[in-house]
Amino acid sequence: MNNIFIIGVGLIGGSFALDIKKQNSSAIIYGIDKNKSHLDEALALGVIDEKASFKELEKADVVIVAIPVDATLKVLPEVLDKISENAIVFDAGSTKEDICAVVKKHPKRRNYLAVHPIAGTEHSGPSAAIHGLYRNKTNIICEVEETAFKLQEKALKLFSQLGMRIRYMNPKAHDKHIAYVSHLSHISAFMLGKTVIEKEKNERDIFDMAGSGFESTVRLAKSSPAMWTPIFEQNKTNVIETLDEYINNLKHFKKLMEDGDFDAVYNEMRTTNHIKDILNGIQ
């Protein structure tokens, strides 16, 4: 397992590169990225060992595709075309249904493992890559039965070295659940940021008053639009459903306030406080 190819040397791909190199000192990390300055930066930062091209994929033992999910639909089949019989390819996309569908009939489908590591930060690019990003994080694997057993083992060993917890799910269920727990959070943060920026023309006021909670709630609004737009596009139906429910809950809360029913307002919050117990242990 020496030749590791990272396609997309940003936060996700770069963090895989750093930890794999740390765990396997004999590994050579090859970087591929359509953004040449990112590639130079990743090399300069020591995130990758060498710049590479698609032609070289035939010598890959492992290929990690960590690019926006729309690009993955195009690139993943091309990668499978080029790899050897013994290579394992996995992606890290936040959607799984469309990606699994696009390689469903590919002759090398059994060389691909559909993966979504639930990890990240609001930063992006090679300089955002960090050691230990995946430690104690959940890694969702979809359609595991479609991947050759020997290659599953290879990938699982790598995930285990990085300290990840594995959960198996079908792509449809994945996309539905993740819409609630991840995609909706991003929209809620972006629209919160928008609402405040629109209103507070004086940015100094936002900065001065943001301490008490705004900053963490809006954190995800720093995320990359280039990464998130295709996620929302591919998971459109589920995301719209979560937005509907979120908007309805907000309207209900507003109605309770308009009616002056502050006992009910209290109960809305009291019931949701239960999130504390659910999240205990995540930090």
Judged by CB under 8 A, the chain residues 113 through 132 that form the site for a second copy are: 118-120, 122
Q: Is 265 in the site for a second copy (CB under 8 A)?
A: yes
Output 28 or 118, the one with its CB closest to a second copy: 118
Q: Which of 140, 142, 151, 162 binds a second copy (CB under 8 A)?
A: 140
Among the residue ranges 17-25, 49-57, 58-66, 194-202, the one whose residues contact a second copy (CB under 8 A): 194-202
Output 86 or 216, the one with its CB closest to a second copy: 216
| Sign of the torsion angle spanned by Cα atoms 198, 201, 203, 205 | negative
Judged by CB under 8 A, the chain residues 218 through 257 that form the site for a second copy are: 218-223, 225-226, 228-230, 232-233, 236, 239-240, 242-247, 249-251, 253-254, 257
Shortest separation between residue 270's beta carbon and a second copy, angstroms: 5
Output 12 or 87, the one with its CB closest to a second copy: 12
Shortest separation between residue 215's beta carbon and a second copy, angstroms: 5
178 vs 13: CA distance, rounded Å? 20
Output 60 or 239, the one with its CB closest to a second copy: 239
Shortest separation between residue 243's beta carbon and a second copy, angstroms: 5
Q: Is 67 in the site for a second copy (CB under 8 A)?
A: no
Q: Is 272 in the site for a second copy (CB under 8 A)?
A: yes
250 vs 256: CA distance, rounded Å? 10
Three-class DSSP labels, the chain:
CCEEEEECCCHHHHHHHHHHHHHCCCCEEEEECCCHHHHHHHHHCCCCCEECCHHHHHHCCEEEECCCHHHHHHHHHHHHHHCCCCCEEEECCCCCHHHHHHCCCCCCHHHEEEEEECCCCCCCCHHHCCCCCCCCCEEEEECHHHCCHHHHHHHHHHHHHCCCEEEEECHHHHHHHHHHHHHHHHHHHHHHHHHHHHHCCCHHHHHHHHHHCHHHHCHHHHCCHHHHHHHHHHCHHHHHHHHHHHHHHHHHHHHHHHCCCHHHHHHHHHHHCCHHHHHCCCC
Judged by CB under 8 A, the chain residues 169 through 188 that form the site for a second copy are: 177-178, 180-182, 184-188
164 touches 138 (CB < 8 A): yes
130 touches 16 (CB < 8 A): no
Q: Which of 132, 137, 163, 170 binds a second copy (CB under 8 A)?
A: 137
Output 54 or 180, the one with its CB closest to a second copy: 180
Shortest separation between residue 223's beta carbon and a second copy, angstroms: 8
Shortest separation between residue 160's beta carbon and a second copy, angstroms: 17
Q: Is 213 in the site for a second copy (CB under 8 A)?
A: yes
Q: Which of 25, 26, 107, 279 binds a second copy (CB under 8 A)?
A: 279
Number of neighbours of residue 56 by Cβ within 10 angstroms: 15
Output 36 or 278, the one with its CB closest to a second copy: 278
Output 150 or 172, the one with its CB closest to a second copy: 172
